Structure 1
Amino acid sequence: MMTNLFSVFDPSTSIYSLSLNWISTLLGLMIIPYTFWLIPSRNFIMWNLILNTLHKEFKTLIGYKNINKGSTFIFISLFSIIMFNNFLGLFPYIFTSTSHMTMTLSLALPLWLTFMVFGWINNTQHMFAHLVPQGTPPVLMPFMVCIETISNMIRPGTLAVRLAANMIAGHLLLTLLGNTGPTLTASLLSLLLVTQIALLMLESAVAIIQSYVFAVLSTLYSSEVN
C-alpha cells in the first residue's frame, strides 16, 4: 500500500542496503555495444540517420565560427542517454531514473557550471555584455543585470525540473488510471485500456521530446558563452 501518491517513484529494490533501481540507467551499456558486432540492420541505419541529423542541427545552433571538433557529440550523447532512460521507464518494473532530480540535476548542473567557468575565464567581456541586452535604456540597465543574472542562475534548476516533472506527470497519470481497473465494469475496462494505450503513445512522444529539449537548451546555453 502506498504511503503517498509519489511513493511509486521512490527507489525500493535493494540488497544489503544497496539500491538496485539505479542499475536501470546502466542497462544501455549491456545492450548498445552488441550492435557494433552485428551486420548493420535497419534499426542501426535509422539510428545513424538520427545522429547525423542531430549533429547538423547542433552544429547550426552552436555556430559554425564557434564550433570545436567533436563538441556536438557531447549533446548527442546527452540526448541518447536521456531518451534511452525515458523509454526504459515505460516498461513495467523498470525504475525511471529521469523522474528524479538526483539524475536530472546531475546532468544539468555540471554542464551549466562548465559553461559558466569557461565563459567567464575566456570571454569575460562577452559575458558582461550579455547581462545587458542591446538597446536597453540606461535607466533600466541595473534591473536588467539583476534579471539576467537570476535567469542565468536558475537555468540548471529549470532544466532539471522540466525533465523530471514531465516524466513524473505521465507516469503518475498512468498509475492512477491503472489503479482504478479492478473496480470497473467490462465496458469501462475496455475504455480504460484504450486510454492507457493512447497515454502510453503520448509518453513515448514525450520521452523523445523532453530529451531533445534538454539537449537543445544545453546547446543554446553553450553557444552563449562563445
Structure 2
Amino acid sequence: MMTNLFSSFDPTTNFNLSLNWLSTLLGLFIIPPMFWLVPSRLSFLWTKIIFTLHKEFKTLLGWNNTQGSTLIFISLFSFILFNNFLGLFPYIFTSSSHMTMTLALALPLWLSFMLYGWINNTIHMFAHLVPQGTPPILMPFMVCIETISNIIRPGTLAVRLSANMIAGHLLMTLLGNTGSSLSLLLINLLLITQILLLVLESAVSIIQSYVFAVLSTLYSSEVN
C-alpha cells in the first residue's frame, strides 16, 4: 500500500533529488531503433501520422504560411504523446501530469504568439478583441471578455493536459489499491476494469496530445 495516493506523481526520489524528471527523456531511447529497421511497419505508421498532422496543421495555419511552420507543432505532439504513453508503464513517472512541465510548454508558445501578433499585426490583434457583428453597446464588455479569455489560454492548455493525466492515473491507483482485500471473483472483475481503464487512458494520451497541438496551432493562426 502507498502511504499517499499522490506519491506516484512525486518528482523526488529516495535521495531527495528530482531524478524522476529523467523519465521525460526516455522517449529518446525509443526513437533511434526505428531508423535501424527502415522500412519497418512502425516507421511507416509514424511517417503516415506525421504527414496527416502536417496536412491538418497546414490547413489551420494557411497554405501561404512559412514553410516548415508545422514542424514545431508536430514535435510538440510527438513529445507530449511519448510522455503520456510512458506514464502508463509501471514505476515510470508521468511528467505530463505536472503543471511545471505543461505550463513550460504552453506559456512560452502563447507568449511568443502574443508578442509577434502585437508587434507586427497590432490593428489585426485589436480587431480580434471585438467579434464581427457585435452591437456597439456590447463592445466594451466584449473587449473585457476577449482579453480575459486570451490571458487564461496558457493556463487552460496546461490544466487540461495535467488534469486529464492525473484523473485517469489516480482512478487506476485507487482501484489497484483495493485488490488485496477483494475476493477471487471481484479480483477478476477488477482486472477487466483495469484493462478497460488502461485502453481508455491510452486513448486519452493520444487525444490530449492532439488537442494541445491543435489548440496551439489555432492560437498561432490567429496572430497572422
Same fold (TM over 0.5): yes
Matches within 5 A, 1:65-214: 65=64, 67-214=65-212
Q: Measure, in 1, the Cα distance between the counterparts of 2:46 and 2:23.
A: 21
Q: Measure, in 2, the Cα distance between the counterparts of 1:110 and 1:31.
A: 27
Other-structure match for 1:6: 6
Moved over 6 A (4+): none
**1:10-62 superposed Cα distances (whole Å, 9 cap, x missing partner):** 123254x4321011101122231232233320011010000000000000011
Amino acid at match of 1:19: S
8 Å Cα contact 2:12/2:20 also seen in 1: yes
The count of corresponding residues between Structure 1 and Structure 2 is: 224
**TM-score of the two chains, using structure 2 as the length reference:** 0.97
**TM-score of the two chains, using structure 1 as the length reference:** 0.96
Q: Measure, in 1, the Cα distance between the counterparts of 2:95 and 2:10.
A: 10
Unaligned runs of 5+ in 2: none
Q: Measure, in 1, the Cα distance between the counterparts of 2:155 and 2:137.
A: 30
**1:51-76 superposed Cα distances (whole Å, 9 cap, x missing partner):** 000000000011123x2111101000
Other-structure match for 1:44: 43
Residue identity over aligned pairs, in percent, reads 79
**1:151-203 superposed Cα distances (whole Å, 9 cap, x missing partner):** 00000000000000000000000000000000000000000000000000000
Q: What root-mean-square deviation, in Å, do the aligned CA atoms of Structure 1 and Structure 2 show?
A: 1.2
Amino acid at match of 1:30: F
Other-structure match for 1:26: 25
Q: CA deviation at 1:3?
A: 5.2
Unaligned runs of 5+ in 1: none
Q: CA deviation at 1:120?
A: 0.4
Amino acid at match of 2:29: M
